[in-house]
Chain A
């Protein structure tokens, strides 16, 4: 190996340690900016009247939030639902390109970063998108109006929160962070896996 300049060596070390930002791992950039922009227009026209301009409802459920990302869990989970059922005035009728664009926009609103790789409707590719991983939504801040009582500082969790559960999913479920709030009874426990 030829002698590497100290500067290059430092950069290589930093890159390997993952500290050299802002390059994200390729698998975290799953849609293009063009798709998200088209998706915003389509969302505003087809979805915002119920789900809100800020995707926070309230006439229909919120589409932004950690809970939403965790609950639908993969791109396929979200896509399979709304590409069939939504919007109520034309369910499943918008065409896959529009649904893909809207999915890109929802991901972006949840903090996911755009990249060069376009999102497409392929079920396997959508299933490989882990919504929690690609988005970077922080746990919502517990703000309360000044005139109301102070909100509790810890959020109660399911009994199984923090416990490893059995899973048949292709990827291992992420190691849960040390819970700051009461969790589900089974959180962190190893539960049976479907074989």
Chain B
């Protein structure tokens, strides 16, 4: 009799637990509160609503329960496998108890942010491209921060160049638009900003042969998905200087100019800021542009968010000959100096690791600072004119100069984080150089137009450690003797997160997630996980508990420099996952 009773009780308990789990996911699903425009501009402190939490791209959280004293007590709350393999560049978002994850091949999941249970999963049927289009296939399996949250939807940009609006409660498709022609090679790499009922996005794939003549930042109406405006980064008929900067090369032989980091937005001036990537072919010897600066490649663009008109541009690396791509995160920062508030745009915009501070109202260059070893930029004038080492510019086939930084950075897509508490910008970097050699090759469908051979990545002379976290003091002028540098053998592989708890959090090719003291650079906590740390770590608070989400997985950047730290072998599998930490309950 007792045995039966126990069995029944157990069965009842198990079924009740299951019901509770389902009921929780159900209630999260049903009661999801819309993300309002005000929230986009000013997210709740407990949430993470866009790639860098806020659309000024700062990557800062005001949460401080996890802080310099408590971080050593962090415990694993739960972990979750990514739904697909590929380079781990995910940027989880959190709103109203739901954690949104996107992965390669545009799979989107909604998880219960407390338990990690799956609420829904969306898997699109993607356009098939031929197996021979190797470069397009390779580039497309690296979706980053591909989603944005707006109202009760999730807005997704896809590898087959669509914008898809999903219901946030159930992951069902509400509407979609084919924004660009995937058969030419266009493909979204990054996700959009959604603000003022407008989806602002930028297409990628612009070094693929079929996309000659145009790479774009584009705006669509959030409700109707009608295109409102587009801005071509390599062909601006309104600007004769831009046209002249390509020499005799007509638009149909121009490639590149890809804006492959999600832009930022300033509501006070209704301006959206985007970074633009390198020209292709990479070397002017092949490109045919002679000594032209090839605008607007490697520039910051300030566009009117309503009309798409260009307000100003600043070129961080003119006349690129080495694929020193400069599209990375443009961060909006206000600093108080005396009675004035100065409105800055800060960035380490390019692979060569040089930090820039600009006046974001005028585009005026303020100051710059090197981080990693680089040999291409010899100086930057007070006017902001960038001067190049012309000896590194190839003038004949067969020349193969050694260039620092390498084509894999320096700096890459992994974003820095700005802390308004310390007024410092924390940047994840890799020390690396490579030889480059221009190649004259016939372009084929679906493949790249870089026309350049790169040697293996090697450490710069005199450097033994590949990884660097550089803390740069931000103001209208360069600060001497402030900030800090933390060096280590393994290269940095994830974005950084800065918090009010005084921590800078990120990870490396050696599979360590670390928390650095934001003032001293001392490592206060580390945990070894299953694979190189990847994507953009983030944090949120739910029911009074603060969670830290750490993505891990395959890192192409780590693979390319692994020879510099052979004593730290990389795994041969991928292991794409997220690990979620929190403090023990009091």
Instruction: Judge whether A160 and B285 touch: CB under 8 Å.
Output: yes
Instruction: Judge whether B453 and A89 touch: CB under 8 Å.
Output: no
Partner of B453, one of A77, A151, A184: A77
B562 CB within 8 Å of chain A: yes
Contact with A along B557-575 (1 / 0, CB 8 A): 0111011001001111110
**Of A2-10, A13-21, A60-68, A99-107, the one touching chain B:** A60-68
CA distance A169 to B440 in the complex (A): 12
A165 CB within 8 Å of chain B: yes
CA distance A91 to B509 in the complex (A): 14
Instruction: Judge whether A62 and B135 touch: CB under 8 Å.
Output: yes
Shortest Cβ distance from residue A132 to the other chain B in the assembled complex, whole angstroms = 8
Partner of B566, one of A58, A92, A140: A92
Residues of A within 8 A of B450 (CB): 71
- For B138, B288, B556, which residue has the most chain A Cβ atoms within 10 angstroms? B288
Contact with B along A140-165 (1 / 0, CB 8 A): 11111100111110011111110001
A27 CB within 8 Å of chain B: no
Shortest Cβ distance from residue A105 to the other chain B in the assembled complex, whole angstroms = 17
Partner of A161, one of B213, B440, B569: B440
A123 CB within 8 Å of chain B: no
B76 CB within 8 Å of chain A: no
**Of B298-306, B392-400, B537-545, the one touching chain A:** B392-400
Instruction: Judge whether B287 and A61 touch: CB under 8 Å.
Output: no
Residues of A within 8 A of B289 (CB): 159, 185
Instruction: Judge whether A148 and B573 touch: CB under 8 Å.
Output: no
Q: A64-B134, A173-B397 are in contact. Are A155 and B210 (CB under 8 A)?
A: yes
CA distance A150 to B182 in the complex (A): 11
Partner of B138, one of A58, A87, A92, A182: A58
A73 CB within 8 Å of chain B: yes
Partner of A148, one of B128, B133, B281: B128
- For A56, A160, A194, which residue has the most chain B Cβ atoms within 10 angstroms? A160
Contact with B along A88-131 (1 / 0, CB 8 A): 11111100000000000000000000000000000000000000
Instruction: Judge whether B447 and A169 touch: CB under 8 Å.
Output: no
Shortest Cβ distance from residue A97 to the other chain B in the assembled complex, whole angstroms = 19
Residues of A within 8 A of B571 (CB): 89
Instruction: Judge whether B182 and A167 touch: CB under 8 Å.
Output: no
CA distance A156 to B249 in the complex (A): 13
CA distance A57 to B136 in the complex (A): 11
Q: Which bucket holds chain B's interface residue count?
A: 35 or more
A22 CB within 8 Å of chain B: no
Instruction: Judge whether B441 and A71 touch: CB under 8 Å.
Output: yes
Instruction: Judge whether B138 and A67 touch: CB under 8 Å.
Output: no
Instruction: Judge whether A187 and B440 touch: CB under 8 Å.
Output: yes
Q: A89-B569, A91-B563 are in contact. Are A81 and B456 (CB under 8 A)?
A: yes
Partner of A194, one of B398, B444, B556: B398
Contact with A along B124-135 (1 / 0, CB 8 A): 000111111111
**Closest residue on chain B to residue A55 by CB atoms:** B134
Partner of A139, one of B129, B140, B442, B560: B442
State the B residues within 8 Å of A (CB): 85-87, 127-135, 137-138, 140-141, 181-184, 209-210, 212-213, 248-250, 252-253, 281, 285-289, 395-399, 437, 439-458, 554, 556, 558-560, 562-563, 566, 569-574
User: Could you list some 21 contacts between A and B, CB below 8 A?
Assistant: A57-B138, A58-B141, A66-B441, A70-B440, A84-B458, A156-B449, A157-B209, A157-B443, A158-B281, A158-B288, A159-B248, A159-B249, A159-B250, A159-B289, A161-B440, A168-B398, A184-B253, A184-B288, A185-B288, A186-B287, A194-B396
State the A residues within 8 Å of B (CB): 49-50, 54, 56-62, 64-68, 70-73, 77, 80-82, 84-85, 87-93, 139-145, 148-152, 155-161, 165-169, 173, 176-177, 179, 181-187, 189, 191-194
